[in-house]
Structures are given as C-alpha cells and as structure tokens.
Amino acid sequence: MDVARRKETAEKFRKRMRAGEALAGTLVTLPSPAVTETLSRVGYDWLWIDMEHAPLSLDQVQSILSAKAESCLGFVRVPNNDETWIKQVLDLGADGIIVPQVKTAAEAKRAVAAAKYPPAGLRSAGLARAHGFGLELAPYIEAANDLVTVILQIEHKDAVANIDSILAVEGIDAIIIGPYDLSGSFGKLGKIADPEVQAAIEKVRSSCHSSGITIGAFALLPEQAKQFISSGFSLVALGIDIHTLWSGAAANLKQISTAVV
C-alpha cells in the first residue's frame, strides 16, 4: 500500500476509534503469513502482532505485515519500551505500536518520542519497507507522525496510580488494559473479577473517558469482549490465534466424539 492510501486508512480507523466505535482485533503469535492473511480478511479491524510473548523475529513480523489485508491495520507490540525496537517495527511498516508495561508519564513520553520523527520526537530516519524501500521515503517521513498509532498498555497497579499524568502526555492515541498482568500486580494473577482489580480497571476507564483517550482491553473469550464493549471499551482484542485454532478444533472434535469409534 502506498503512503497516501495508508494515511487514508489510518485516518478512517482513528475517526472510528475516537467516535467510540467498537473495533475488534485479535492477537497474532504464529509466524505464518497465511494465518495472518486469513485473520485479516474475516472482518477484524486490526491485528495485535505480538513480539513481547511470541517468538517472532523482525523478518517474520515483516512477512506478517506484508500478508495482511490493507483494510486491517497491523499494530506490533514491541518486547519493551525501547527506542530501537520501536523504530525497527515502524520501519517494517507497522501501522502503530503497542508498548507494554508503561507505568509512568516519563515512560509514556519515551514511547511517544521513539515513534515520532523530529520535531515531535526522536525517531531516526532509515530506509525499509515503510518507506517503500526508498521509493516513498520523503512522503512517508512527511506523513508518518500522523499515520502511526501509539498505544500504551496499562497493566500494573503503579500505572493505575499514575494514570492521569500518563494520559496528559501528548501523542498517545489509545490505552489498552492488560487485565491478567494487572491482576498479577495485585498478587491475584488471573483473578480479573476480583473487586480490587475491577476497581483499578474502572479507574483507568473513567480517566480515559474524561481525557478523551480511547480505551481498549484484551479478552480471551467473546463473553469477556462483550462486557468490555458494553462498558465503553472501544478497542477490544478478542482471542489469540493459537487459542482460536486449538479451541475451535477441540469444539469441532467434541461435536463428533460420540460418532468416533
């Protein structure tokens, strides 16, 4: 996709996101372009390409980004809040970044700066897929600060305590709550329904709505995703590719188990 079309697609996505429309994504952890291409064509608005927990290399991420449908945006979760990781995945042509474990305003500023070209940030200029390998270098650099989506993950109780100062950082497009790690930071890993964890999630949700910042969350199952959407979460990542694969296969097998001899 050329820069002009990428910018148009990104602007449409952001317009829908800011309007509070529910935008469904899913996690990509498998290094298969075929899996990515298929997922991007069934109706997801965006893909969460995971380099934090999945063993994806930069070459594999580039193949994944190349395989997805143009209408489906590809956001890469970098392994950590690091300038080098951020510029490398953006140079590969990612439509945005997801930065894990942001706990303070200073960390939020570092993530935004790494994603933006000067004067808005510190991103250095390279020559890679995002720039058409040089064919669209100037147009991309001119458009990139508006084209790239910056999403920060709030998944620790310290981040919840600092949420208002984090949201005050210019250049943040959205917040995604990581409910599992958030519950773990309270010593209650996996107990997302715990009142203390739910209170923390509500605090972040309320602060995001007051600040006009889009809020999202990860949900493994459709029932969880529906609850988030009904509570005002508009950026919802539903499921993980490998879980969708094995759970769907198991459900199919269960339906015929009585007929299997």
The pair phi, psi for residue 28, each rounded to 5°, is: -110, 120
Q: Where are the beta strands (DSSP E) in 142-234?
A: 149-154, 174-177, 214-219
What single-letter DSSP state applies at residue 123? P
Query: What is the enclosing helix (H) or strand (E) of 11?
Result: helix 3-18
Number of Cβ within 10 Å of residue 219's Cβ equals 21
Distance CA 159, CA 136 (A): 38
Query: Where do the domains of the chain lie?
Result: 3-259
pTM for the complete prediction? Answer: 0.95
Region 203-222 average pLDDT: 95
- Pair 34, 67: CB distance under 8 Å: yes
Residue-wise pLDDT for 58-112, tens only, equals 999 999 999 999 999 999 999 999 999 999 999 999 999 999 999 999 999 999 9
Residue-wise pLDDT for 168-203, tens only, equals 999 999 999 999 999 999 999 999 999 999 999 999
| β-strand partners of 24 | 236
> Active site residue: 53, 131, 209, 243, which one?
53
- Pair 95, 134: CB distance under 8 Å: no
Q: What percent of the chain has pLDDT over 90?
A: 94
Distance CA 140, CA 127 (A): 10
Q: Tell me the CATH number for domain 3-259.
A: 3.20.20.60
Active site residue 53: yes
Hey, CA dihedral for 199, 204, 208, 214, is it positive or negative? negative
**Chain mean pLDDT for the chain:** 95
